Structure 1
Amino acid sequence: MNATTARGALLAAFACVLVGGSFTANSVLADYPYAGGQFLRYGLACLLLVPWAGKGAAGRLRALAPRQWVRLALLAAVGMVGFNLAVIAAERTAEPAVPGVFVGCAPVVVAVLVPLLDGSRPGQAVLYGALLVAVGAFTVQGWGRTNGAGIAFSVCALAGEVGFAVLAVPVLLPLGPRLLSATVCAVAALESAVVAVASDGTGWLRRPDGVEAAALLWQAVVVTVVGFVCWYMGMQRIGAERATLFSGLIPVAAACTAPLVGTGSYGLAQAAGSALVCLGVALGSGALTRAESGRATPPAASFRGNGRPQRRGYAASDMPE
């Protein structure tokens, strides 16, 4: 594993650990209007990200084609607003482990889907690693009670997790991680406001109390601003397939932090599942293989998701961050 790949892996892992550790924040927002809370979260995150978007941000946005704006809207709707709504809807009739298990299958879906969209075959190492990650995530979380609606919404949550990675691939290169994060947060805030008004009417937004405000700040600043930028910086360096492997760390981080707040325990099953996730990530990301001397893969070559070079002639120095 060369330096670029190692840095990308660390960034993707850090982002997923932040998401996994944020479940406590979600638990204290149960009484706050959901869509209104998402509006505050993504709106604040956008305001914080805009000054950090880099030089020429306006020009890069103007250069986007209409189809790329449609993709950004779908990314926000499916991978952000839709994903969160699907998880909440699934947990109304299913135990939280059920959508967690489905979302844990995202690495397998991405490992197959990204190469197929690119006209190639899935890489065996990434696919085997993704299968280990999915089994490990299931072992960590177990399975809970559910019904048909719970399974259906869990499948929607899986689609949202996959979309968050796959839909970003063609727009990550021209925008870069910071501008992409700021843009999708702005779009997600607008979409959340529309959903909130449609579902909650005039009560879609209220002043949060101290605990709710702290949870929303954590979600906006740590999980969204830091987490999104780290995630897309990691994906920029190692590709969507390998980056999504690290989503298996989300249930591991949640299982490790649950005992700290008294919402769960960490036992033998969690330890075994964590080991499987780590093994799958190491196998699929290439950490178990030595990088060939003098043949480090440039960031632009790993962007497409399968590690194959770009056809459009971008160099590593052309890639905005």
Structure 2
Amino acid sequence: MNATTTRGALLAALACVLVGGSFTANSVLGDYPYAGGQFLRYGLACLLLAPLAGKGTAARLRALTLRQWVRLALLAAVGMVGFNLAVIAAERTAEPAVPGVFVGCAPVVVAVLVPLLDGRRPQRAVLYGALLVAVGACAVQGWGRTDAAGIAFSVCALAGEVGFAVLAVPVLRPLGPRLLSATVCAVAALESAAAGLLADGGGWLRRPDAVETSALLWQAVVVTVVGFVCWYMGMQRIGAERATLFSGLIPVAAACTAPLVGTGSYGLAQATGSALVGLGVALGPGR
């Protein structure tokens, strides 16, 4: 494994650990309007990312085709706003572990889908590693009570997780990680505002209290600004298939941080699942 691959793996791992930790922050935002929270999160992240986008930002954006703009809109709608909405909707009738188990299967889907879209066969090592990651993620989270609606929304969450990686592949090279992150955050903020106005009218946005403000700042600054840039920098170096292997670290990080706020425990099942995720991540790159 060369230096570029190593840096890419570390960046992808850091991004997924930050996202996993954000699940704990989500637990204190249950009473805040969903669309308003997404608008504040992605709007603030866009403002912070814009100065970091680099030179020639306007020229690179103007060079995008209509098809690429549609892809960016789908990336924001499916992989960001839609993903978070699907998780929240699933947890109304299902225990949180249920959407988590489905999302944990994303490495397997990406390991098959990305090569097929490129006209090549899936890599055996990556596919085997993805299977281990999926099994480990399921072991970390377990399974819980659900119904048909919970399963349906969990499948939508899986589609959002896959879309966040797959839809970004063709626009990552022309935009780069920083400008891509800033652009999709701007689009996601606009989509959130539109969804809030349509669904909740004037009550879609309110002033958050101190605890909600802290959670939203964590999600905007740490998870979105740092996490998104690290994720796309890692994906740029090691590819979407290998980068998505590290999404198995999301439930591991969530399980490790949950006891800190009294929303879960870390036991033998979580330790075993974490070990399987680690083995799958190591096996995927063929190391």
The reply to whether TM is greater than 0.5 is yes
- Distance apart, 1:25 and its partner CA: 1.1
5 Å-filtered alignment, 1:137-152, equals 137-152=137-152
> Could you say which residue in structure 1 is the equivalent of 2:232?
232
Quick one: distance in 2 between partners of 1:13 and 1:279?
Answer: 14
Quick one: distance in 1 between partners of 2:71 and 2:13?
Answer: 25
> Could you say which residue in structure 1 is the equivalent of 2:255?
255
Deviation >4 Å, runs of 4+: none
Quick one: distance in 2 between partners of 1:199 and 1:187?
Answer: 18
Determine if contact 1:97/1:143 at 8 Å carries over to the other structure.
yes
Q: Does residue 134 of structure 2 align to residue 122 of structure 1?
A: no
Give the partner amino acid of 1:270: Q
> Could you say which residue in structure 2 is the equivalent of 1:275?
275
How big is each residue's C-alpha offset from its partner over 1:205-253, in whole Å with a ceiling of 9 and x where there is no partner?
0011111111100000000000000000000000000000000000000
- Distance apart, 1:264 and its partner CA: 1.0
Quick one: distance in 1 between partners of 2:211 and 2:270?
Answer: 29
> Could you say which residue in structure 2 is the equivalent of 1:295?
none
> Could you say which residue in structure 1 is the equivalent of 2:159?
159
Give the partner amino acid of 2:53: A
> Could you say which residue in structure 2 is the equivalent of 1:177?
177
* 2:120 alignment partner, SS class: coil
Quick one: distance in 1 between partners of 2:144 and 2:136?
Answer: 16
Quick one: distance in 2 between partners of 1:140 and 1:96?
Answer: 12
Determine if contact 1:181/1:229 at 8 Å carries over to the other structure.
yes
Quick one: distance in 1 between partners of 2:236 and 2:82?
Answer: 24
Give the partner amino acid of 1:76: A
Q: Does residue 9 of structure 2 align to residue 38 of structure 1?
A: no
> Could you say which residue in structure 2 is the equivalent of 1:314?
none
Quick one: distance in 1 between partners of 2:149 and 2:193?
Answer: 25
* 2:8 alignment partner, SS class: helix
- Distance apart, 1:125 and its partner CA: 0.2
> Could you say which residue in structure 2 is the equivalent of 1:264?
264
CA RMSD in angstroms comes to: 0.5
TM-score, with structure 1 as normaliser: 0.89
Give the partner amino acid of 2:191: E
5 Å-filtered alignment, 1:194-205, equals 194-205=194-205
Quick one: distance in 2 between partners of 1:58 and 1:242?
Answer: 31
How big is each residue's C-alpha offset from its partner over 1:149-200, in whole Å with a ceiling of 9 and x where there is no partner?
0000000000000000000000000000000000000000000001101111
- Distance apart, 1:285 and its partner CA: 2.5
5 Å-filtered alignment, 1:1-321, equals 1-286=1-286, 288=287
Give the number of equivalent residue pairs.
287
Give the partner amino acid of 1:240: A
Quick one: distance in 2 between partners of 1:94 and 1:262?
Answer: 20
Paired-residue identity, %: 89
> Where do 5+ consecutive residues of structure 1 fail to align?
289-321
How big is each residue's C-alpha offset from its partner over 1:44-70, in whole Å with a ceiling of 9 and x where there is no partner?
000000000001111100000110000
Quick one: distance in 2 between partners of 1:285 and 1:209?
Answer: 44
Quick one: distance in 1 between partners of 2:79 and 2:265?
Answer: 29
TM-score, with structure 2 as normaliser: 0.99
Quick one: distance in 2 between partners of 1:258 and 1:282?
Answer: 25
Determine if contact 1:9/1:285 at 8 Å carries over to the other structure.
no
Identify the range of structure 1 (151-160 vs 260-269) with the bigger mean alpha-carbon deviation.
Answer: 260-269
> Where do 5+ consecutive residues of structure 2 fail to align?
none
Quick one: distance in 2 between partners of 1:207 and 1:257?
Answer: 27
Quick one: distance in 1 between partners of 2:256 and 2:187?
Answer: 33
Structure whose alpha-carbon radius of gyration is higher: 1
Whose helix fraction is larger, Structure 1's or Structure 2's? 2
How big is each residue's C-alpha offset from its partner over 1:93-122, in whole Å with a ceiling of 9 and x where there is no partner?
000000000000000000000000011100
Determine if contact 1:60/1:174 at 8 Å carries over to the other structure.
yes
Quick one: distance in 2 between partners of 1:236 and 1:253?
Answer: 23
